[in-house]
Structure 1
Amino acid sequence: MWRSVASNALTLFIVLLVAAAGLLAWGREQFTGPGPLTQAICFRVERGASLSAVSRALEEQGAVSDARIFRIGAEYSGKADGLKFGSYLVMPGQSMAQVLESVTVGGQSTCGREVNYRISVASAEVVLRELDPETNRYVDVVKFDPAAEAVPAEYLDVAEADDIRWRVTLAEGVTSWQVVDSLRRAEFLTGEIAEVPPEGSLAPDSYEVERGADRAALLGQMAERQAATLAELWAARAEGLPYETPEEALIMASIVEKETGIAEERKRVASVFINRLAQGMRLQTDPTVIYGITKGEGVLGRGLRQSELRRETPYNTYVIDGMPPTPIANPGRLSIEAALNPETTDLLYFVADGSGGHAFARTLAEHNENVARWREIERQQGEDGAGGVQD
């Protein structure tokens, strides 16, 4: 009898073990397998939210199939106490394990709303935008220039929200004065800026910041990034360039930056200026003359006068030999690379071609023909000012 009872108990124990193993395998499959979500959502984890509340909300929004399995998986993986406040993009079919990764170690606010403070050559613009989960693209909600417009109510309504991502973006070709002037008007930043950084020393790029970030520290980050870029590209520079120091290359890069906004042209434009230097010709480029007038403080807003082209200043490359004493803007990586690895050409001139790009020439005769074509385009468009490099 006891032998029978023992045998039955053993059988029951084995059955329970098999059942437990099956249940564990099923739970693991539910946790790591494709999730039930069919359409992307932006899921918000409230500050201080418990794992239980988050798991229930995920189940209610269809992101996980079972809140209990999600909680057990979080406990088992040691991430139960690692919830991060913010908004997270949950894609269709993501497993519970992937969702858990996002809301614990994936970083705050991978979706939701973002304020991007864009500093460009002509103006600075605050852009509040929101991610559309269906398209995974940001959609502008409101934009305004803090120097020229009242702050819209739509911005004020959300600016204090603690799940907003903040970003400052510098366009290529902005001057250091323009950057400082714009940062001083950014109400979401704090701290004083003692002086304008040297021209060319700030990297045009996008910088993620926090509300209340220090302005001077942000400028320091911009300077560090530009210094690292210049050092990297200087080490890989072509041979035979007319620069003795990285700083001279930065001057050339800033001229290239201001002469063309077309990436494919940058190395060719750099070759023109380098060829002119090699032949003892003056650079004769309008952006340097403009910088001598404005000192980088704003936009000239008109064409150059003949008197200004004849006036001798350290930046008037129609009058001085060689390059100006400093950069005339903050060049981006592509322009620095162009200055340090230009195309090999025998080109000496270029002028606008009416399409947004430039027509290049080897001889003055060819160049004059290109200028005549551009003048006709100008006449038809009612504009003036040829730009480019002329004799």
Structure 2
Amino acid sequence: MGKSRKPRRARSGGSILRVLAWLLLLGLAAGGWLLWQDWNRFVDAPLRVQTAAVLDVPTGASFAAIRRQIREAGFSDAHDLYWRALAQRMGVASRLRAGEYAVPPGTTPRELLRRMAAGDVIQHRFTIVEGWTFRQLRTALAGENGLRQTLTTQSDAEIMRELGAGADHPEGRFLPETYVWTRGDSDLQVLRRAHDAMRRALDEVWAARAPELPLESPYQALILASVVERETGKADERPQIAGVFLRRLRLGMKLQTDPSVIYGLGASFDGNLRRRDLETDTPYNTYTRTGLPPTPIALPGLAALRAAVRPAPGNALYFVARGDGSHEFSADLDAHNRAVARYQLRRSP
């Protein structure tokens, strides 16, 4: 009897083990399925961002360090394994780039990693305004938050040497335009882009210049363009203003342009141009000297550059401000004096 009971107990014990094994497998499968479902929800669920935020990833940051930044910023408290699994699946674990990344509301973990792998960083914009002087440009660059400052203690001449143009006067050498920069860029890099852009623009307009201009070089065109830029803010008047100055140069007349005199006064100019200023000789006083000023007096834009080499036809030799931003043009001195009386003298106190 004892022998006949042993096999039955063995079969009963084996069945229990098999059931337990199956239950364990089912539990593992169910747990795995739930884990898989939870991971999938994580991948495309919006991060915890209520307002637009920025993730600033430093150069050389490891994946673990980036994950800590995300957690400390409060964007997500998901386990590191979830982030690692997603990065591995996307094939970006070793390709995340440093930089500033925008994290607007609705951003998902998948989208954030995609941006970081693509280097889709925040792009800042710096605008050089037409008519600025180089001093104003330097001041604006120094105040650009986030831009790496390397030039604050350098002189103008040292900056030009850094740009490979050590013999050049800096005034007028940078094209007014909007330039994009990203975190880590320096003020010198922005200046270099503007310097290269002006060189290309000047080469382009000089090659397309009108025949028989009384200008001997692209640099003279740059000087004239800077004067035109400072004389008027109206785009449609720039070719007319340029025409007046070019005809004066051709006839050997003095340019008699106030902005050049003001530039020559430098920091001593208090906003009020007096008769004695017009009579005091300086290299930039176009009332006492014929020809162009020795250097540009501002940063001319592309429209002023084009006007300087493609002036409007006509016979005007004078112009006077009307007081509304536009100018009255005259071909002779008598007509000019009448325009001055009409637009200027009647406004005098």
Give yes or no for TM over 0.5: yes
Out of 127, 147, 150, which is 1:189 matched to?
A: 150
| Map of 1:89 onto structure 2 | 102
Q: Over aligned residue pairs, what C-alpha RMSD do you find?
A: 4.7
- The range that moved more, 320-329 or 220-229, is 220-229
Distance 1:239 1:70 in 2: 66
Higher CA-based Rg? 2
Contact 2:130-2:229 at 8 Å conserved across structures: yes
| Map of 1:300 onto structure 2 | 269
| Map of 2:209 onto structure 1 | 237
* Greater share of residues in strand: 1
Out of 219, 222, 231, which is 1:250 matched to?
A: 222
Contact 1:188-1:211 at 8 Å conserved across structures: no
Out of 289, 293, 303, which is 2:261 matched to?
A: 289
| Map of 1:9 onto structure 2 | none
From the superposition, tell whether residues 96 and 308 of structure 1 become closer, same or farther in structure 2 (CA, over 3 Å).
Answer: same
Shift of 1:260: 1.7
Map Cα deviations across residues 342-383 of structure 1 (whole Å, 9 max, x no partner).
33344333222222x12232334543343233226633xx5x
- The range that moved more, 344-353 or 189-198, is 189-198
2:291 counterpart SS class: coil
| Map of 1:353 onto structure 2 | 322
- The range that moved more, 176-185 or 243-252, is 176-185
| Structure 2 gaps, min length 5 | 1-35, 159-167
Shift of 1:307: 3.3
Matched, 1:171 2:171: no
From the superposition, tell whether residues 94 and 61 of structure 1 become closer, same or farther in structure 2 (CA, over 3 Å).
Answer: closer
The residue identity in structure 1 corresponding to 2:117 is T
Out of 305, 327, 340, which is 1:336 matched to?
A: 305
From the superposition, tell whether residues 231 and 371 of structure 1 become closer, same or farther in structure 2 (CA, over 3 Å).
Answer: same
The residue identity in structure 2 corresponding to 1:82 is R
From the superposition, tell whether residues 84 and 314 of structure 1 become closer, same or farther in structure 2 (CA, over 3 Å).
Answer: same
- State the number of aligned residues: 295
The residue identity in structure 2 corresponding to 1:106 is G
Shift of 1:85: 4.3
Map Cα deviations across residues 204-248 of structure 1 (whole Å, 9 max, x no partner).
445547679476x76555433322221232223333432221011
Matched, 1:41 2:52: yes
Distance 1:369 1:73 in 2: 79
Contact 1:354-1:377 at 8 Å conserved across structures: no
Distance 1:370 1:80 in 2: 73
Distance 2:308 2:336 in 1: 23
The residue identity in structure 1 corresponding to 2:157 is E
| Map of 1:268 onto structure 2 | 240
| Map of 1:79 onto structure 2 | 92
2:267 counterpart SS class: coil
Contact 2:260-2:284 at 8 Å conserved across structures: yes
Q: Percent identity?
A: 35
Contact 1:55-1:68 at 8 Å conserved across structures: no
Shift of 1:301: 1.7
| Structure 1 gaps, min length 5 | 1-22, 111-164, 383-391
Distance 1:36 1:212 in 2: 29
Distance 1:91 1:317 in 2: 55
Distance 2:85 2:202 in 1: 51
Contact 2:239-2:307 at 8 Å conserved across structures: yes
| Map of 2:28 onto structure 1 | none
Distance 1:80 1:177 in 2: 46
Q: Which has the higher contact order (CA 8 A, sep 6+)?
A: 2
The residue identity in structure 1 corresponding to 2:233 is G
- The range that moved more, 224-233 or 274-283, is 274-283
Distance 1:91 1:97 in 2: 14
Distance 2:285 2:262 in 1: 8
Contact 2:235-2:303 at 8 Å conserved across structures: yes
Alignment of 1:145-224 (within 5 A): 170-176=128-134, 179=137, 188-189=149-150, 192-193=154-155, 195=157, 198=169, 199-205=171-177, 208=181, 213=186, 222-224=194-196
Contact 2:49-2:103 at 8 Å conserved across structures: no
* Greater share of residues in helix: 2
Shift of 1:255: 0.5
Shift of 1:259: 1.0
Contact 1:351-1:359 at 8 Å conserved across structures: yes
Shift of 1:313: 4.0
Distance 2:322 2:50 in 1: 48
Distance 1:169 1:298 in 2: 24
